[in-house]
Structure 1
């Protein structure tokens, strides 16, 4: 807790590396976190990007209160916690108002379908400023069916898509995390990033361009019609003041 720059989960380190490969540390990043938890990623970015302005969207209001009470979170306007449903909040935001969107939302062991679809991803792109990065944590099983469809969906919306995961996950050997990201500018092509990803406790590979297309080949783009409940279109989120 005394070192917010220490990330225990590998997928969080991969997200951090990817964002840092795009934005210099003196950037005044505008970051939207869909899924708050203990605000681990928000604390990390606050430490690495001291001038960042961040909003964390968390559906569990009681959890948000406890996190604010327990942990040493930056105060507003550096970090705000907004209690609400991720899609409803996203669709309410202004065009080109964020530089980074991190989606890390789970119900049990899967991300709700309404937060994975083409329509949702189009909203994410609308909210991103030019050159912004949309990055998601996708949990999947050995068949990688969900990750392939997410990669196909993000690739349908963004000109440039990357996938980061460890080799065992990419070979379908276990359940785990796949990080997928999209941008309207080239992303993840830094040799330094590839070296950094290989150097972690769980070495990871990054797939770009045609490699992503090959990974997602034959996978259907996710659509709102597959969501079990109609996606919201109006925000009902509330902000925790002092958050």
Structure 2
């Protein structure tokens, strides 16, 4: 009998991940086995790496930007919110990596994942060890429309990580969207967005300008080459009506230690820096 190759399904296995490509509602999904970790998979949606999952190890985050989101969100929740009553909404699902992570960090938290692709939502439930409802609920729908329909003050944290290819859909980058997200957050809640942008950073500036019309306080996380406009990459945009950590504060120092510990060190930029960064930038509106 031949030796089973990494990631190959055993005879009769009908669930769990295996290498291959599947048709989904919006195109194709491909699972690629990790060459360096057992039971680890990268999910590619229409050719773009969208999630990484290690079965049985929900706190393993391979994507640096997810580590940045985790570092900031954990400190914010620790300082201001009750993890046993925490309500988190994830706009953009793919393999539900962040929902798995936070559900493990805070076992009594509740997560709603909004995923556009109904077939993909079914597949990731089949493949991966995503906690069942009510811990993690997957809600099929378009993120902008779903956000507009959220009950006011019904969630504590919103994490937006929605892409069409390598770009965030424009309806999720406007003042009107930010107002809808803000209205659905409980007082003092947290909004976090993963923004993929080019070296000119015009997209990040426009989003922050829109967020500035809605949220009282803003911050940014990114690695230095990205902040200096040297390449395309991820920049994390943060908004809240609660004061956010400022440079020199104990909270900022705690986050900084986490951000500097990964393979791609990143910096937390506080409100003063962020306001200077977006100075003079025009926000996007639906009608533009």
The two structures have a TM-score, normalised by structure 2, of: 0.77
3-state SS of the aligned residue for 1:193?
Answer: helix
- Residue 257 of structure 2 is aligned to residue 195 of structure 1: yes
Q: Give the superposition deviation at 1:26.
A: 4.0
- Residue 166 of structure 2 is aligned to residue 109 of structure 1: yes
Q: Give the superposition deviation at 1:218.
A: 1.9
Which residue is equivalent to 1:95?
Answer: 152
**Separation of aligned partners in 1, 2:187 and 2:213:** 17
Structure 1 stretch displaced more, 136-145 or 146-155:
146-155
Which residue is equivalent to 2:184?
Answer: 127
- Which of 217, 235, 244 pairs up with 1:178? 235
Which residue is equivalent to 1:9?
Answer: 63
**Separation of aligned partners in 2, 1:200 and 1:159:** 30
Q: Where in structure 1 do 4 or more consecutive aligned residues deviate above 2 Å?
A: 24-28
**Separation of aligned partners in 1, 2:258 and 2:103:** 21
**Separation of aligned partners in 1, 2:237 and 2:266:** 13
Identify the structure with bigger relative contact order (alpha carbons < 8 Å, sequence gap 6+): 1
Superimposed CA distance per residue, residues 67-108 of structure 1 (whole angstroms, 9 cap, x where no aligned partner):
011111111111110110001111111110000000000111
Which residue is equivalent to 1:217?
Answer: 279
Q: How many residues align?
A: 226
**Separation of aligned partners in 2, 1:95 and 1:26:** 20
**Separation of aligned partners in 2, 1:55 and 1:111:** 20
**Separation of aligned partners in 2, 1:130 and 1:20:** 18
Aligned residues of 1:18 and 1:188 also touching (Cα < 8 A): no
Higher percent of residues as helix? 1
Q: Give the superposition deviation at 1:194.
A: 1.8
Q: Give the superposition deviation at 1:28.
A: 2.3
Structure 2: 5+ residue stretches without partners: 1-54
**Separation of aligned partners in 2, 1:194 and 1:135:** 17
Aligned residues of 1:21 and 1:188 also touching (Cα < 8 A): no
- Which of 204, 213, 217 pairs up with 1:160? 217
Q: In angstroms, what is the RMSD of aligned CA positions?
A: 1.1
The two structures have a TM-score, normalised by structure 1, of: 0.90
**Separation of aligned partners in 2, 1:209 and 1:26:** 25
